[in-house]
Structure 1
Amino acid sequence: MSGVGHHNSHRGLIQEPGPVDRRAPVDAIIVPSGRPEFALVEAGRLAALLDATLLVLSSGYSRARAVPDRLARLSTLQVVAVDFPAAGVRDMPVLETSTVLGRSHLQRKADTSAKRNLGLALARMSGWRNVVFLDDDIVVPDAADLERAVALLDVHDGVGLRLGGFPDNSVVCHANRETGELQDTFVGGGALAVPADRIDSFFPEIYNEDWFFLLGDTALRPVSQVGHALQRSYDPFSDPDRARGEEFGDVLAEGIFARLDQHLPIAAETGYWSDFLRARLGLIERIAKRIDPATPKGVAMLRALDAAKGRLRSIRPVDCVRYIEAWQNDRKTWRDFIGDLAPNVGLDAAVGAFDLSSFTSAPRGRRRSKPERTAPRPALAATVPLSPSPVRRSVPVVR
């Protein structure tokens, strides 16, 4: 691949593991849930089969109080459901990536990233080693695939399941595929195993936050894929606001990963982003020319692409540079925060330290035995912050 522009696949960045015949225990499945409680049945089934704690972080249509009752038939399941406050969680760090865009319409307001970050903090304080982030629209046919994924965390910072079913792409990338182009997917947070005991990444408040989570300071962390999961289908073109909300994050992630494909470092120069923004506009216009405007689906696709193009035209190269610099600052902020947390205090104490409301159910049946743990994993290459940290809020310490 060469030149500046969209790459239809970043598959070459993923380390292929080969046959995986080893399994390791899953300590917890963490679900940032916004759908009604019935959407958690699949995550509950998996957690019960794997003897893992199910941690549900609820907002929107998901009510923490109702989660244990909804999953009560899973008698061996230990579930902890936490109400995620609309105003955010006390004592979580204030991240520059959530403020650098100010009141700009480029700012994407969603709490998925914040819930995942809380999950990382609770996991560290609970003493969990291997956790899986699972979205509430994901199905995993073989629960053992999650054990195979965490078995690879000794030498990887993230292991995703290969997503089948409905592709996990942005609106623009869905349109690219729908109009006949090859369009791949990448490792995503919808089904992602992470080493909670040592990972020092965070999820910024932006579309493609999982891609940013998998980055080091200048390159991609060691990442792999194994097993299979299915994402439930939806219509990506039904609401043009989806395309608007995704565009800035899609531009940044695709622009960064296009450089990584070419073994180049993450770019924070306006010249590169000026070229990439022009290439992105050309991509959207080429896709639009391939769409039949005489069909209802074509009309919806064109409306969505017009929305993406309108948002794209408001993105300046300096916006990209400022966001990347803020993200680099936040990496240091998050590293300090996660390192200062009181370790191994247990989930109840961790939830209490953040002054959160939780609802639990304890298993009633006999717990199944877990696979034997592998030997302690070595620390991977340390990352070095590129910029100083902004001022952050206090960190909860349980005594």
Structure 2
Amino acid sequence: MSRFNHQQSHASLLSDVSRGSVPFTRSGLDAIVVPAARASLPQHLITLAAALSVPLVVLCSHQAQIEGVAKRVRNTFGARGLIIDVPAGYPQSWQPLTSASAFQTVSAGRSSDLSVKRNIGLRLARMRGWKKILFVDDDIFQLKAQQLDRLAAQLDRHPVAAMASREFPDNSVVCHARRLAKFRQDVFVSGAVLGVNTQHSEMSFFPDVYNEDWFFFSRHAAERSLPKVGEVRQQEYQPFADPWRARREEFGDLLAEGMYTLFESQHGLNFKDQLRAAASSRFWQQVKDGREFVIQETTDRLTSLQNKGRTVDTWRIAEALESLAAAGDQLQRISPDVCVEFIASWREDESRWKSALAADGTSLTERDALDRLELTNWISCGYGRRDGYGIDTALRRNRTSVRPEESVSC
């Protein structure tokens, strides 16, 4: 049985439109959505939303607190914000099949609410009648207005458009280790800066797995219709600081790399036919064999560099080797059958997601949309907004038996 070779780049799946003149667009962005977990939201995102005259939707959890974000929005001239608290364990009413305990186990107990927040953003946009939205992670900086004009224009023609973070490289731990080992390693676009036309009939969802964004725009990558509109910078981090990071990424990285290599090797087939190959345990055994080779090859190269002792990255190499060992050990805990089960669950979740969207309705008020989403702790504020929502909000609280402090408007 042959193995899959690691692809240093998936650029062939992209349409790079990041250069040249900005095409005409019929409309700009309708909202900027930020899944926030850090204590301090970058001011430039608030300023950018104000400059574009679009609402800033901030979905808060972990260290991000809605009161602090709302205060900064109020203090920024021209800014409007909808700041929402996303409670732990949300949502209770709809649990994707891809969040099953079996998949959490092979993801080493990975716990992240990023996909939940992005899915809230998609549903909120549909209910509010927003056509073009921009997802931006709270560690992104140096976004330029011209880039967003280009992105908005692409959303006239494509369901999604995205950007890539090359500095600091947006890669998995294993790919960072390959870069450290002096292998060539590219950076793909991601959900860190992602434009979505929410009115498209094939709008997908973000499953609860590492590389959830690759699953979200997989159809468009497979069809070579995913535009890359430029590059941004993200906050630097230490990928090898915690070996468990590599464990938690391994299942999602295996799945995404296997799928995208499949897309490249079967160009010409439609998306559904391409995914038929991913319904085979034999296929995922080939992918797993290729992954084992990649981890071992990278380990051998880094060990050789370490033994030569001619690099200033000696301490980083030691950490990277520990992370690679963790990734390799986690890989052995992942069977080809569980990969097949995940792909089947993901496809079923796609159908359930579309049914949920159809039932949501459109052109809802802010309050009705949040009621529909069962989100009770939020603040709506902005420059020029009339006070007076307090009475309506109090009535809503009485209807839903929410604590008095849980929802306010400014």
For Structure 1 versus Structure 2, the TM-score category normalised by the shorter chain is 0.7 to 0.9
| Cα contact 2:14–2:224 (8 A) shared by 1 | no
Letter in 2 for 1:121: R
1:207 positional shift: 0.4
The question of 1:359 aligning with 2:361 is answered no
Percentage of identical aligned residues:
35
1:94 positional shift: 2.0
1:353 positional shift: 2.1
Residue deviations 1:70-114, cap 9 Å, x none?
Answer: 3333120101110001021354x3210011626624253210001
Aligned mates of 2:365, 2:187 — CA distance in 1: 36
Mapping 1:156-305, distance limit 5 Å: 156-198=158-200, 199-216=202-219, 219-220=222-223, 222-263=225-266, 265-266=274-275, 267-291=278-302, 292-293=305-306, 295-305=314-324
> Against the structure 1 CA distance between its residues 272 and 317, is the aligned structure 2 distance closer, same or farther, given a 3 Å change threshold?
same
Give the structure with the higher percent helix.
Answer: 2
Aligned mates of 2:164, 2:256 — CA distance in 1: 19
| Cα contact 1:155–1:222 (8 A) shared by 2 | no
Mapping 1:314-353, distance limit 5 Å: 314-353=333-372
1:209 positional shift: 0.2
**Residue in 1 aligned with 2:14?**
14
**Residue in 2 aligned with 1:127?**
129
Residue deviations 1:271-303, cap 9 Å, x none?
Answer: 111111111011011111111346211111111
| Cα contact 2:15–2:224 (8 A) shared by 1 | no
**Residue in 2 aligned with 1:32?**
35
**Residue in 2 aligned with 1:368?**
none
Letter in 2 for 1:167: P
Mapping 1:138-149, distance limit 5 Å: 138-149=140-151
Deviates more, 1:292-301 or 1:187-196: 292-301
| Cα contact 2:13–2:221 (8 A) shared by 1 | no
1:218 positional shift: 10
Aligned mates of 1:274, 1:22 — CA distance in 2: 47
1:116 positional shift: 0.5
SS in 2 for 1:159: strand
TM value normalised by structure 2: 0.84
Aligned mates of 1:301, 1:237 — CA distance in 2: 5
| Cα contact 1:157–1:221 (8 A) shared by 2 | no
Letter in 1 for 2:297: R
SS in 1 for 2:174: helix
Aligned mates of 1:179, 1:202 — CA distance in 2: 35
| Cα contact 1:240–1:307 (8 A) shared by 2 | yes
Out of 320, 327, 342, which is 1:308 matched to?
327
Residue deviations 1:306-355, cap 9 Å, x none?
Answer: 11111011110001100000001011001111122110113332112223
1:193 positional shift: 0.3
| Cα contact 2:242–2:323 (8 A) shared by 1 | yes
> Which runs of 5 or more residues in structure 1 are unaligned?
366-399
> Against the structure 1 CA distance between its residues 348 and 146, is the aligned structure 2 distance closer, same or farther, given a 3 Å change threshold?
farther
Deviates more, 1:232-241 or 1:209-218: 209-218
TM value normalised by structure 1: 0.86
Letter in 2 for 1:286: E
| Cα contact 1:215–1:221 (8 A) shared by 2 | no
Letter in 1 for 2:232: A
Letter in 1 for 2:38: R
1:217 positional shift: 9.9
| Cα contact 2:126–2:362 (8 A) shared by 1 | yes
> Against the structure 1 CA distance between its residues 119 and 154, is the aligned structure 2 distance closer, same or farther, given a 3 Å change threshold?
same
Aligned mates of 2:360, 2:211 — CA distance in 1: 26
Instruction: Return the index of the structure with the highest Cα Rg.
Output: 2
| Cα contact 2:74–2:382 (8 A) shared by 1 | no
Residue deviations 1:228-284, cap 9 Å, x none?
Answer: 311111110111111110000000000000010112512220111111111101101
| Cα contact 1:159–1:187 (8 A) shared by 2 | no
SS in 2 for 1:226: strand
SS in 2 for 1:290: helix
